[in-house]
A and B are shown apart, each in its own frame.
Chain A
Amino acid sequence: MPNRVDRASFAGEETMPDSGGLSIEVDGLRLRYGTTEVLHGVSFQVRRGEVLALLGPNGAGKTSTIEILEGFRMRSAGRVDVLGVDPALGTEHWRARMGIVLQSWRDHPKWRVRELLAFQGSLYAPYSTPVIRRPWDVDDLLAAVGLAEQADRPIKVLSGGQRRRLDVAIGLVGRPELVFLDEPTTGLDPKARRDFHALVRRIRDEFEATVLITTHDLDEAEKLADRIIILAEGGIVADGTPSQLTRQIAGHDEVSWVHGGARQVRHVADSTAFARGLFARDGNSIRELEIRRATLEDAYLALVRNAEQAAAHPAEVAPEPDGASR
Chain B
Amino acid sequence: MKSSVIIFPGSNCDRDMDVALKKFGFKNQMVWHNDPEIPKSDLIVLPGGFSYGDYLRCGSIAAKSKIIKSVVEFANSGGLVLGICNGFQILTETGLLPGILQQNKYQKFICKNVYVRVNDKENKYFKNIKKEILELHIAHNEGNYFCSNDELKSLNDNNQIAVTYCNKDGKEADDFNPNGTLKNIAGIFNKNKNILGMMPHPERMIDKYLSSNDGNFFFENLFENLK
Q: Do A and B belong to a common assembly?
A: no
